[in-house]
Structure 1
């Protein structure tokens, strides 16, 4: 790894990023981030379903993401797990009015049905991801999750809303969801309710902001924000903290979104 600023050695870069992690990884971060939606709940299944659905639509304007994620919860009577498991056909029809960019009511209805299948037949979301995790990566687990998620009848159009690392995707939204569920550092942001997935296996949610900042700091050379870029970024972040590499997402995202880091 070679930083774009020659005067920044690895230990100096690590110190700089640790300061930024401390700055942004605190409860104040929640009020402007979609993670506020799963924070509304206390039951494990409510938290993970609210988190999964909110992360699924986490692209575009952040205020609109939060607004539409809250609408999802409202449509489910603000009891997502109970709705997933016990909805009536009439209640499911209400979901057909939902839209967030290219995620529409057809997609929403299928996601509810698929989640029901996962809780009925696969012991829930955590069990599916945990079953296929590797010591230093969740990417194969994400790919297997997509297979399970679409094992019931579905329209082809809906498949685009779950990324697949096996097809070269950085799977930003699912990696973000996994960070929410598996990191537990007692800072109040990430929920840390999944104990069967190690934070050491998590990957940074790579998007335009974190990617641009990572390139400016010499953590990433690849120009595309794809699976190969994620592997490169993962490798370099693990040099600084192999046990919790994805904590640096707070630094990269904060520098890009809140500080306009150039």
Structure 2
């Protein structure tokens, strides 16, 4: 399949999956419960953090997490008392547990009180062509407070070889236009051209079958290779092809 035919094929799949029906089975439905910018971005970050494993379990646990914060995550994070954190005892999603969650809440509060919020942190370290340095710097800041060492594994770092799938997914949600009603487009300071695909088993396998990716591991080097391929198809909005690659793998067994 030549580049023109491949673009036409994938563009059709983007149209097929980048629509509100997609939300019904995807964790992105959780931030769609909210309208306040800070509620959307906090719920997106926390939901993306636990977005691995069974999708139904991800959605159920993310919904439970929002309920534990009284369905007002921004207000809860800024105004909770230390005793309020006890309500998270027993919360667990795979290896993400209550200790991890309590630190996440503390660190998110620090980012909003002392660093002008998450968007400002990411925008500060943005390069013209990539958000990967920004992800690395965000992680450094996020863990600048005293924390359990084990909690670090729940935030990917491209500088340590991670594809940072969950943070790249969150960035897609928050940066891409909401014109189809799926992504949000609330982070105006970051261009879609700098985004990277949330590389996972589905998108990676399909990308390899289509000749967009040759590296076998789903790591930072593979993501850099996929970035180059997708930017050839659409340099302005390359990550829109996440819908096509994921949909082909997850729903069509391509």
Partner of 2:64: 71
State the 1:185 CA deviation. 4.8
Partner of 1:31: 24
- Distance in 1 (CA, whole Å) between partners of 2:89 and 2:139 is 22
- Is the CA contact 1:96–1:109 (under 8 Å) kept in the aligned structure 2? no
List gaps (5 residues or longer) in structure 2. Answer: none
* TM-score computed with the length of structure 1 as normaliser: 0.96
- Distance in 1 (CA, whole Å) between partners of 2:214 and 2:82 is 50
Match status 1:10 vs 2:3? yes
Partner of 2:149: 156
Partner of 2:233: 240
- Distance in 1 (CA, whole Å) between partners of 2:209 and 2:79 is 49
Partner of 2:100: 107
State the 1:88 CA deviation. 1.2
Match status 1:142 vs 2:116? no
Root mean square deviation, CA, Å: 0.6
- Distance in 2 (CA, whole Å) between partners of 1:196 and 1:121 is 19
In the TM superposition, 1:153-192 aligns within 5 A as: 153-192=146-185
CA offsets, 1:89-139, max 9 Å, x none?
221111132100000000000000000000000000100011001111000
Match status 1:223 vs 2:211? no
CA offsets, 1:49-85, max 9 Å, x none?
0000000000000000000000100100000000000
Q: Secondary structure of 1:35's match? A: helix
Q: Which stretches of structure 1, 4 residues or more, deviate above 3 A after TM superposition?
A: none
CA offsets, 1:207-239, max 9 Å, x none?
000000000000000000000000000000000
* TM-score computed with the length of structure 2 as normaliser: 0.99
Match status 1:82 vs 2:75? yes
List gaps (5 residues or longer) in structure 1. Answer: 1-7
- Distance in 2 (CA, whole Å) between partners of 1:159 and 1:93 is 21
